[in-house]
Amino acid sequence: MYKASRFSPLTSIIRHTVITLPTPINISTWWNFGSLLGICLASQILSGLILSLHFTAHTDLSFYVVIQSFGDVYYNWWFRALHANGASFFFIGLYLHIARGLYYGSYVFKEVWSIGVVILLLVMASAFLGYVLPWGQMSFWGATVITSLFSALPVVGGDVVVWLWGGFSVDNATLTRFFGLHFVLPFIVAGLVGLHLFFLHDQGSSNPLGVSSDFNKVVFHHYYVLKDLVGACFFIGPLLGLVYFNPWLLGDPENFIEGNPLVTPHHIQPEWYFLFAYAILRAVPNKLGGVVALAAAVLVLFYMPVSPKTSVKGLSFYPWGKMLFFSLIGVFFLLTWAGSKPVEEPYVVISQVLSFLYFSYFALIGPITRIQDKLL
């Protein structure tokens, strides 16, 4: 006789996701960042919803509404600081999550990795759109510079820019549509995160050794739930410390000045988490070439699932691969530093050398690990 389940379909899905999910017994702290990113996404959506209740998307009002809300709306300063610094911590988690995937070969799960890269692109787009909303000097000029890049597209570039602006310059129509997109994109990201988890749980997590762990797994709860909670405490602690003690440390002072199309800031630069891509953009003298390099800096991640395969997943047993990987980490930090500098010598040449090294990793990592396979 058929026996009815004690759990509803929704309860069964949740139970399988966070309680009975079979998980490799040897995954390390580097696997904590998936859950931490989920916490960051939830925090950004909730704080953003609250901030949107006191925001007016208008070029004559946005800047003053943001400033006035600090004093007139209870705890608005706290939610705004949490939202701004939460974005920085979100990107810290994203970059560490991607670095872990590159090192341990998580890109062999093609669906999981590809959806993850799409999530990265949408989060980057949402962060850029959100940075424009306060309508400070860096917001206005950042929007002008980045949207103008589309004019480099052959034939349709000019029309695309006018369509993005909603006119012939960055103005009220631009701000309105940026606000609408910034509001919608996080919910699309949340949906893709669900799809990301679906494929991850279908294919199973990787592990530090890069070997099959089908016969050595434990249930997710309580082993990894407790581990994720500890990781969340260590992640949220510094975030709250920044919110309470130095909330504008990672911001740009120029953004406390209202956006003025007649006064160009001395040095236009994006938020720190975009500086590596900004350095790559500036490294190419040709405008179209710079745009292609900028896009390739992130889109190159789509190449990893189809890169040459190795006999052991990940770089744990490949010394040359490890050296190349940690060189990439150093190049990433140096590109971030170079992107914060003015467009002048020697920073342009440094950016060009670092950009070449950045793309070299993705071209060389496959052949180098294959050579080591043959030697062993």
Q: Is-contact 254 265, C-beta < 8 A?
A: yes
**Residues marked as catalytic:** 201, 205, 227-228, 271
Write the CA distances from 342 to 61, 250, 347, 351, integer angstroms: 31, 18, 7, 11
58 marked as binding residue:
no
97 marked as binding residue:
yes
Write the CA distances from 261 to 151, 167, 252, integer angstroms: 19, 15, 18
d(CA 360, CA 183): 37
ω into residue 196 within 30 of 0, thus cis? no
Write the CA distances from 125 to 66, 191, 307, integer angstroms: 21, 16, 27
d(CA 209, CA 314): 8
Q: Return the axis-axis angle of helices 287-299 and 275-283, rounded to nearest 10°.
A: 140
d(CA 283, CA 344): 11
- Residue 22: left if φ>0, alpha if ψ -120 to 50, beta else—which one? beta
Chain CA centroid to CA 27, Å: 23
196 marked as binding residue:
yes
For 357-374, b where at least 16 C-beta lie within 10 A, e where not — what string? ebeebbeebbebbbebee
Q: Is-contact 304 107, C-beta < 8 A?
A: yes
What is the SS3 assignment for 58?
Answer: coil
Residues 112, 118, 122, 124, CA torsion sign: positive
201 marked as binding residue:
yes
DSSP 136: B
Q: What are phi and psi of 168, to 5 degrees?
A: -105, 10
Binding residues for heme b, by number, are 83, 97, 182, 196
Binding residues for a ubiquinone, by number, are 201
